[in-house]
Structure 1
Amino acid sequence: MADPEQPRSVPLPARYSAVRLNSPEWFARVGEVARVIGSDRFHRELVELAGAAINHDACWIIRYSRVAPPDVLYTKDVASDVVAYYANLYSSVDPFFEYWRNNGSPGVVMLNDVRSPGQSWDLYHKVFQTLASISDELGMFFSTVGHCCFGLFLERERGRFSASDIERARLIFPMLEGFHRSHLGALFNDLRNPRGPQVEGFITRPTLIEDRFGVDVFANDAWREAARRAPALADAVAALRVAEAGQTRAAGALTVKVEVFDRDFPLAPGGRMYVLDAPEREEEGDPDQLLDEALSIFTPREKEILLLLMNGQTTGEIAQKLSLSKGTIKNCRLRMYRKTGVGSERALVKHVMQSIGAR
């Protein structure tokens, strides 16, 4: 195995040779990545695109978190027993993982960049890399949400990545990062406006996304506000961590529903999404109780303003009545729009009226 501290020598032939960055093949691959943005094929096509620019023998995609173990999402030309060795024995000493946990940033990172002499490095470099036939590694880190990132890794079985390989990686990284960000945007957009029947626009409601280790990946403002006001929410989530998709649990006057992500869902592979929703009600109920439930996601000030809006008062009249500026009223109204997933005052009032059973 090559020592990362030794000077780079003439590169040896690799299993996959780089194509010219002005060739029809390169542009065809770029177009394919753009075409599959938002689909479950995206990251596989992204690593294929990176590999087309750089001589390499194998590749990995690993999701790193600063608070949870690494998650291997995809490999190519890597033996299954090597993946198992990594996941079960060596992921904790992965120097790239340590780099990300220590506040690493997106970009191109070489194996020598993350070298940290000590027992962990020796286990990874002298033991795992020997088992896996890895001579050199080139990593690309793409940020996601919260504490997570995607690590895209190309490997050499013999020799080292050349200076030209590294230069190409840094040249194409901004484009790959741009594709990656567009992909994340598409995923969140799909959560807001889902195509399938199993997820009903949850992102507009109070929503929490956890990875498969139970670590928070994303929570919108409405969820954080609801969690602050309803301590029972934490107990409901704890119960749903082992429940099947579609199950619900009561959280005070509200209901939490869980959906389970596939292992290839990039934001939280194998993770879960919890959505707070109003419970099913009897046809007749206490109007005051129904109104309290409908307004439970709002702050006292937001409730005060909303009730005045529902009484037909204008922004100016409300500002004068509450001794606030019009700008403050407008900002408060925008926060209520975000919490309810609406875009206008009329839609906000309609949302509340429907929540209490009025038509």
Structure 2
Amino acid sequence: MTFDRIAALIAAIGTGQFYDRVLALLGTLVDCERRLVIKYSRFAAPEFLVNESLDEESTRNYLGWLYRLDPLLRLVSEGNVPAVTTFAQMRSEDRSNAFYDEIFKSGKIFDELVLFLEAPGGAYIAFCFDHGSRLATPEEIAAFSAVEPVVAEAHRLHVQNAIAGGLGSIYGDRRVGVLVTDAGGQAIYRNSAWEATVADEQCADLVRLAFSVGQREPSHWHEHVLHWEYLDLDIAQVRSSRILFLESHAPGYLKTDIETALAAFCSQYRLSHRERQIVEKTMLGYPTSLIAEKLELSAGTIKNYKQRLYLKLDITSEREIFSLFMSHLLGHL
């Protein structure tokens, strides 16, 4: 870690460059080029704030449906979010979760080192460093843990300064509307996402709807979820204030039992027990040689099974097995 990076982080507090600067600071502590920043909200789908890891197609797949297998989303949805963690450390004992974790990681992620920052509204900002072929080292994990209190305090100051300074988007996000009111319910801050969704003449009614239920309790407005909480910020003009969040409701972490899902998929396509074994291991990213070893068959036999499997499923590649299974799974929820 360099003092220049710390100075750059401090200078970015309250500006749109804050999360880039945090990522750059953490990047000095780990040998990794694939990195990104993701915001996890209570109800909306995750959103990339910085993406230096995924290509355009992978980004579309993640935001479209793959996020529902994201182990980090599972932590957030369960309310069990450590300040620093890795994929290896969060290995699940649950069979379904473990299977989904392996599918998620099959996209060239061997391990991921993550630092979480808590944000108002039950949201979390995750700084993720993807390792393609190795585990995060104990030294990297310790370095992230050591710097986390500094980054967390800088983040607290960033949020309050972004609100006080009228920054168009506190988190750099575009999905979640944010409104801050004074003690009397008058709006003193709104982000660009709120302004794009809520007309001026609707704002007062929406504030009343939010405050008709308790803190952090959700209300529904059209296809959106509205919730609020008291704002604990040490700035004179926003003391005793409340912050409202307007989120588009998106499907959350996938909780379907994997055995039931695989059985239904194989039944629909009339797959044999052996074909099911091959489908399962293919989705976990196993190469033909390893599938053959696991099933105690020759590589040639596995290739023959796969060719017959492709005909049954009307596909031409291993990649399509995964897509077909996920389409089946998500279509039956």
Q: TM-score, normalised by structure 2?
A: 0.53
CA spacing shift, 1:86–1:220, aligned 2, 3 Å: farther
Match of 1:50 among 2, 8, 26: 26
CA spacing shift, 1:172–1:120, aligned 2, 3 Å: same
- Equivalent residue runs for 1:300-319 within 5 Å: none
Alignment partners' CA distance in 2, 1:80 and 1:167: 33
Which SS does the other structure have where 1:143 is aligned?
A: strand
CA spacing shift, 1:178–1:251, aligned 2, 3 Å: closer
Alignment partners' CA distance in 2, 1:250 and 1:51: 41
Query: Are the equivalent residues in 2 in contact too, given 1:58–1:156 (CA < 8 A)?
Result: yes
Question: Counterpart amino acid of 1:173?
Answer: E
Match of 2:63 among 83, 87, 106: 87
Which SS does the other structure have where 1:222 is aligned?
A: coil
Residue 248 in 1 paired to residue 223 in 2? Answer: no
CA offset digits 1:216-241 (Å, max 9, x no partner)? 78665433xx8xxxxxxxxxxxxx97
Which SS does the other structure have where 1:112 is aligned?
A: coil
TM-fit CA distance, 1:245: 7.2
- Equivalent residue runs for 1:29-108 within 5 Å: 29-105=5-81, 107-108=83-84
Question: Counterpart amino acid of 1:248?
Answer: E
How many equivalent pairs are there? 205
Question: Counterpart amino acid of 1:190?
Answer: G
Structure 1 partner of 2:327: none
Asked which structure has the greater CA Rg, the reply is 1
Q: TM-score, normalised by structure 1?
A: 0.49
Question: Counterpart amino acid of 1:85?
Answer: N
CA spacing shift, 1:94–1:338, aligned 2, 3 Å: closer
Pick 1 or 2: higher relative contact order, CA cutoff 8 A, min separation 6.
2
Root-mean-square deviation (Å): 3.8
Match of 1:148 among 123, 126, 134: 123
Which SS does the other structure have where 1:109 is aligned?
A: strand
Structure 2 residues without counterparts, runs of 5 or longer: 187-192, 209-223, 227-235, 242-333
Which SS does the other structure have where 1:33 is aligned?
A: helix
- Equivalent residue runs for 1:1-359 within 5 Å: 21=1, 26-105=2-81, 107-116=83-92, 117-125=94-102, 127-131=103-107, 133-191=108-166, 212=175, 221-223=183-185, 247-249=200-202
Query: Are the equivalent residues in 2 in contact too, given 1:33–1:46 (CA < 8 A)?
Result: yes
Query: Are the equivalent residues in 1 in contact too, given 2:14–2:162 (CA < 8 A)?
Result: yes
TM-fit CA distance, 1:27: 1.1
Alignment partners' CA distance in 2, 1:30 and 1:111: 27
Structure 1 residues without counterparts, runs of 5 or longer: 1-20, 200-209, 227-239, 256-270, 274-333, 340-359
CA spacing shift, 1:219–1:100, aligned 2, 3 Å: farther
CA offset digits 1:268-324 (Å, max 9, x no partner)? xxx999xxxxxxxxxxxxxxxxxxxxxxxxxxxxxxxxxxxxxxxxxxxxxxxxxxx
TM-fit CA distance, 1:74: 1.4
Alignment partners' CA distance in 1, 2:112 and 2:72: 10
Alignment partners' CA distance in 1, 2:126 and 2:182: 25
